[in-house]
Amino acid sequence: MKKQNCISFSDRELVKLSLKDTSYFECLFHRYESKLLTYIKRISNFSDDEALDILQESFINVWKNLNDFDSDLSFNSWIYRIVHHQTISQWRKATSYGKNKTIDIEDVTNLTAEASKNHEDRERKMLKILDLLPEKYKTVLILKYFEEKDYAEISDILKIPEGTVATNLNRAKKAFKELSVKHRISFFD
């Protein structure tokens, strides 16, 4: 399937076409591969190989459940929900056996000594602070500010009410700011 052919179709159309001709599923894969891989790495800190494995498993789950997709819903939210659940499941497995990669608080504090102001450094610092937050706060911040999802999409992905999304976002921002101050990391210099 040529990429230029994919662009002309909406997600819903590609789902319908994929159910008749599997080559169209490649369009969905290419449309979401990069965004979802970035999302996996942001919420989990898995290595590139681990993130690719999760992405592959997620797309297998998407394919297996494509017949069950409700075309009245957003495919974007649906696929993010599948990837989110797969990532969290893998993360829980890794941490339940003591295999998690813990963050040394000294590493976070040492970041203040760095004077670099480039975007990658800033994002790395943000991710370090995000890793110190409870999962529910980390997830809503990433979905809102890194993945640029609105409250309705976040609600759909996480299967929580929009009011809970708003509450969790407010609490997450407050906790993020407190951790930034505590570890003397400024994002506004």
In this structure, are 5 and 87 located in the same domain?
yes
In this structure, are 108 and 171 located in the same domain?
yes
Examine the fold and report which residue of 79, 101, 123 is the final residue of a domain before the chain moves on: 101
Q: Give the separation between CA 14 and CA 71, rounded to whole angstroms.
A: 11
Domain residues for the domain of 73 are 1-101
Q: Give the separation between CA 105 and CA 132, rounded to whole angstroms.
A: 9
List the chain pLDDT tens, one digit each, 189 residues: 555 578 899 999 999 999 999 999 999 999 999 999 999 998 888 899 999 999 999 999 999 999 999 888 899 999 999 999 999 888 888 776 544 444 444 444 444 344 344 566 777 777 788 888 999 999 999 999 889 999 999 999 999 999 999 999 999 999 998 988 887 776 654
Quote the pTM value.
0.68
User: How distant, in Å, are the alpha carbons of 73, 118, 185 from that of 157?
Assistant: 11, 31, 30
